[in-house]
A and B are shown apart, each in its own frame.
Chain A
Amino acid sequence: MDIHKTYRPSLTERTNWTLTVEAIAAGLMFLFLFTSIDKLYNYRQFRDALSKSPVLANVAGLVAWSVPVAEILIATALFIPTMRKTGLKATILLLAVFTIYLSYMMAFAPKLPCMCAGLLESLSWKSHIIFNAVMIVLAIIGIVASGKSSSAGSRAPPT
């Protein structure tokens, strides 16, 4: 019996997981780069919109530059294969914070306009929360796929 054949890492399986991670990371990179560049390009409008938020009014200046900077750092982490898993975890953290903020605003100021930038400015607050949830799920899938893609190549045959 050829045990090596049974336990040899499946190249197809590994490639599929790797492709999954790369595709998810690229999608999230696009999202973060697009929204961060848009926020920086329209910095004054973004800061002004934040200053109208009852929660962020006092820290609008800080949030207005720290959010796009954080997004660029996460996009950079997602670009570098060795840092991709960290980037995916940071994605979940950032989107979770944003989702909590949106939920709070929906609960206490349901008629506030969307203050997001870029692709998503036409989304309602509810749609934005759903969009964030989908992105969080994708990032989780990315982390799982990242683990599978590295373990598929390092599985040792039984002794």
Chain B
Amino acid sequence: MKKYLFGILAVVVAFTGVAFKEAKSSKRADMYVFEFKSSQPYTQGNVQNTSNAYWEYKGLNLSGCANINQKACRVLVSADYVDDPDSPTQLSGVSITATQSGTTAHVTGISGGGNLYSNQAD
């Protein structure tokens, strides 16, 4: 039994650690992640258009993209900026600003406190 003591301790600490981490992260507000449809041309006008023809809902609390400012990738918004927080389909009440660089446009700003954006490599 003694030779398993460290191992048992490690198991207990690991499970406790995960439980604490999840409890802490569940207190954080959910972020709704929308991604620019890669089938659409990455023009400034399209990127700034918040309709779900251009920005599609991908899921809750997903990570951002590479953050290389070459073309649009994802925006992360709070529940106040989606059409229906229980079943979101599109962005609502938020404006996106984009800059054209060469053949593609990338996001340079998003309205709403706490909302985030990330771009990707071309």
Q: Name A's B-contacting residues (CB within 8 A).
A: 22-23, 25-27, 29-30, 33-34, 37-38, 41, 44-45, 48-49, 52, 78-79, 81, 109, 111-113, 115, 118-119
Contact = CB atoms under 8 A, between A and B. Distances in A.
B62 A33 contact: no
B22 interface: yes
Interface in B52-100: 58-59, 61-68
Q: Is the interface of B mostly helix, strand, loop or mixed?
A: helix
B29 interface: no
Contacts of A41: 18, 22
B14 A30 contact: yes
What are the 8 tightest A-B residue pairs by CB atom distance, in nearest-first order?
A26-B6, A33-B14, A29-B10, A30-B10, A26-B10, A79-B7, A34-B14, A22-B6
A29 B4 CA distance: 12
B73 to A, nearest CB: 9
A76 B4 CA distance: 12
21 contacts: A22-B7, A23-B6, A25-B7, A29-B11, A29-B14, A30-B17, A33-B10, A34-B17, A34-B18, A38-B18, A41-B18, A44-B59, A45-B61, A48-B62, A49-B63, A52-B63, A79-B4, A113-B64, A113-B67, A118-B21, A119-B17
Interface of A, helix, strand, loop or mixed by DSSP = helix
Contacts of B64: 113
Given A33-B15, A81-B3, 16 more contacts: A23-B6, A26-B6, A29-B7, A30-B10, A30-B14, A44-B62, A45-B61, A48-B58, A49-B62, A52-B63, A52-B65, A52-B66, A79-B7, A79-B11, A111-B68, A119-B17
